[in-house]
Amino acid sequence: MREPGVGLGYAVMEVVKDSIASPSTLFLKIKSGRLRHPVLVIFGMAAAVSLLKAFMWGSALSGLHQNFFPDSFLNTVLSLLGNPVFAWLFSYLMYFALLLCVYFICTSVFASTLEIGNLFVAVMALSGLGVIMQVVACISSFLLSPAILLIVGYVLYVWILCLTVKAVEVLSSLSMLKAAVSVLAPFIVLFAIGGMVILAPYLSWLSPQAR
C-alpha cells in the first residue's frame, strides 16, 4: 500500500535508509501494513539491475557450449546452466522457495501467526541494499580486484542472512533461536542446490566470479 501523503521517492528512500540504519523499525512498519508499494518498486529495480549485470558479466560465457561429456544432452544442460539469464531466473525461483519454506516452518512447526505477505515484503525490502552495492561494485570494479569484490559479496550475504533472521523474529514474535532455525534449516538444504545466491539474488554478479 502506498504511503498516504508521502511521495513514492521519499518512501523508497525511507525503506533503504531503515534497512541500513534501523532494520527492526523497518520490519515493524511492514508488519503494520506500511511501505508495501515502495518495497515492490525497490525489488523490481534490484531484479533489473542484477539481470543487467548478468548480461554484462555473462556475455562472454553464455555463447560457449560445454563439451565435458560425450552425451550431447548433458553438454546442452551444462551450457544452459551457464547461461546468465537462466542462472538469474533460477536464483530468484530458489529465493522464493526459501521464503516459502521459512513460512512453513514458522507456522507449522513453531505455530507462529506470521503472515506470508509481511514475510515476503520484509525480506524483499532488503533488496535496496543490493541496488546500492551493485552500483558501488560497478564503480569499484575499476579500482578493486574481482577477488576483493567477491569477498565483499560474501560478507554482504552473511549480513543479509542476519537481517532475514531478524525480520522473521520481528514479524513472527518468535524467539531469536526459533527464528534462526526457521531460516537456517531450509537455507542449508537449498544452499546445496543453488548456493549462496539464493539468499539474495539481487547481489549476484557483483564481480565476474560472484554468480
Check whether 69 has a pLDDT greater than 50. no
Please state whether 170 falls in left (phi above 0), alpha (psi between -120 and 50) or beta: alpha
Q: What is the pLDDT of residues 169-179, one digit of tens each?
A: 999 999 999 99
Which one, of 170, 193, 165, 169, lies nearest residue 32 by Cα? 170
- Using alpha carbons only, give the angle 12, 17, 21 rounded to the nearest 5 degrees: 155
CA gap 17, 211 in Å, rounded: 26
Percent of the chain whose predicted confidence (pLDDT) is above 90: 42
Read off the C-alpha cell for 139. Answer: 564503480
Read off the C-alpha cell for 24. Answer: 527492526
Residue 175 CA: distances (Å) to CA of 86, 126, 204:
37, 21, 31
CA gap 111, 105 in Å, rounded: 8
Check whether 33 has a pLDDT greater than 80. yes
Q: Show the DSSP H helices in the chain as ranges.
A: 8-21, 23-31, 36-62, 72-81, 84-104, 116-125, 127-140, 146-172, 176-194
Read off the C-alpha cell for 209. Answer: 566470479
| pTM of the entire predicted model | 0.83
Q: Collapse the DSSP code of 115 into the 3-class scheme (helix H, G, I; strand E, B; otherwise coil) and give the result.
A: coil
Domain boundaries, the chain: 8-203
Which one, of 1, 31, 26, 7, lies nearest residue 15 by Cα? 26
Query: Residue 73 has what pLDDT?
Result: 56
Q: What is the pLDDT of residues 172-209, one digit of tens each?
A: 999 999 999 999 999 999 999 888 889 999 887 665 44
